[in-house]
Chain A
């Protein structure tokens, strides 16, 4: 079975940094594009960033450019999100999700990891 498991969330002060991880299993990790999507408490889904299987293509939401960096290590079947200069409005559950090809939907999602930015 395909599994995506996020980790690394927690409480961080405004201006701080956090690195999220997502471990994939049950499929050939390198053949799928990966994504981060977040959901603020009581709000809808917001796409954050995407990375191709070979890391050659990266897309990012404008509102997070310069602060968030997506990366992956296919040897470790892992996806990462480095989050810097965190703000209160970055408080959310962060999900990783995969898609097969350009234009494909996100067919499997992790259970999410909660990031809380507060002093």
Chain B
């Protein structure tokens, strides 16, 4: 089973700042990595797929990069609605797996 480790667990930033979230896989997942955003009481929402492709309707301030075992989600300038929990997910092998999440909170 591929284990995904996200860092940091919590990230405290202010609106307008740049956020950088990391996801590391225990073995290569090539580019089959997705990022999701989850707000309290809501279902996860797909942001990025195949490491760097934005899902439909996702603002350009969200970008993804990486391949193999190291991936990054970047939010270029934080908006108030971006404060949430972010999860990475690998879709390279079964069983599919999620990281433990990074909570992005307002500083």
Contacts and interface: CB of A to CB of B under 8 A. Distances in A.
A48 to B, nearest CB: 10
A74 B57 CA distance: 28
Contacts of B46: 105-108
Interface in A17-67: 37, 44-47, 50, 59, 61-62
Contacts of A44: 87, 98-101
Interface string B81-107: 000000101011011111111000000
Contact of A105 (B38, B42, B91, B100): B91
Nearest to A107: B46
A59 B31 CA distance: 21
Most chain B Cβ neighbours within 10 Å, of A45, A46, A111: A45
Most chain A Cβ neighbours within 10 Å, of B32, B49, B95, B101: B95
A111 B44 CA distance: 9
Contact of A104 (B49, B100, B101): B49
B87 A45 contact: yes
Given A44-B100, A45-B87, A59 B43 contact: no
A110 B42 CA distance: 9
B44 A103 contact: no
A68 interface: no
A103 B100 contact: no
Interface of A: 37, 44-47, 50, 59, 61-62, 95, 97, 99, 103-112
3 cross-chain pairs, A with B, having the tightest CB-CB distances, nearest first? A105-B34, A109-B43, A105-B49
Interface of B: 32, 34, 36, 38, 42-46, 49-50, 55, 87, 89, 91-92, 94-101
Given A45-B44, A109-B45, 9 more contacts: A37-B44, A47-B98, A59-B96, A104-B49, A105-B89, A106-B36, A107-B55, A109-B43, A111-B42
